[in-house]
A and B are shown apart, each in its own frame.
Chain A
Amino acid sequence: GIQVEQSPPDLILQEGANSTLRCNFSDSVNNLQWFHQNPWGQLINLFYIPSGTKQNGRLSATTVATERYSLLYISSSQTTDSGVYFCAVGTYKYIFGTGTRLKVLA
């Protein structure tokens, strides 16, 4: 099956800092999505991005499908960005990556 790995596993930032999260996957897929899981467990859809680049406010994402990776950029981080970031990939079903646990300090 598809292997999905995310890096780094843990990240601590000062408020205002920028960061890049990476998602590598082992096979071609039709779907890729980034989610943020807040401390209460809610999974929030950030981007549906099987290829190309998208931006939404302080967040942007790029997927290079031919090289099997996706990047999530967070700029000017805020304490509310804390939580776990997952990428999910798949064709017939989503496989979730290992996650990046982000903590933003005030």
Chain B
Amino acid sequence: DTEVTQTPKHLVMGMTNKKSLKCEQHMGHRAMYWYKQKAKKPPELMFVYSYEKLSINESVPSRFSPECPNSSLLNLHLHALQPEDSALYLCASSQAPRDYYGYTFGSGTRLTVV
């Protein structure tokens, strides 16, 4: 299995809603990442999990809350988002922190905040 699976593919949520994005990989990778991508821009790193522990938080607002329940699963909990948070959210994984051979992205969740 060489895939990173993200669900849902599309999500529309109101500013008072709570929702979660899910990312799963079964490649034995020990580093997992969340990125945010706005239209016509490159992906921007949000969080890095290394061996199931949060190792990098790129000054992301607290309305985004990551969670890594186990080595295969990464969640991003969303609460009280703003319309400007609408974007493509991408998950990725790699063999190990700082070893990016095999770095693989999921297909993303396209989020719209209304």
The answer to whether A and B assemble together is: yes
Q: Is B7 an interface residue (CB 8 A)?
A: no
Q: Which of B16-24, B77-85, B103-111 contacts A (4 or more CB under 8 A)?
A: B103-111
**A86 in contact with B103 (CB, 8 Å):** no
Interfacial chain A residues near B92, Cβ < 8 Å: 43
A44–B103 CA distance with the chains assembled, in angstroms:
10
Q: Measured between C-beta atoms, what is the minimum distance from B94 to chain A in Å?
A: 9
Assess whether B42 is in contact with A41, with CB atoms less than 8 Å apart.
no
* Interface size in chain B (residues, C-beta < 8 A): 22
Q: How far is the CB of B49 from chain A (nearest CB, A)?
A: 12
Q: How far is the CB of B104 from chain A (nearest CB, A)?
A: 6
CB-based nearest B residue for A31: B100
Asked whether B42 lies within 8 Å of A99 as measured between CB atoms, the reply is: yes
Cβ of B104: which chain A residues have Cβ within 8 Å of it?
A: 45
Chain A interface residues toward B at CB < 8 A: 30-31, 33, 35, 40-45, 48, 86, 88, 90-99
Name the 3 nearest CB pairs between A and B, nearest first: A96-B42, A43-B105, A31-B100
10 contacts between A and B (CB under 8 A): A33-B100, A40-B107, A41-B107, A41-B108, A42-B105, A43-B92, A45-B103, A88-B103, A92-B97, A99-B42
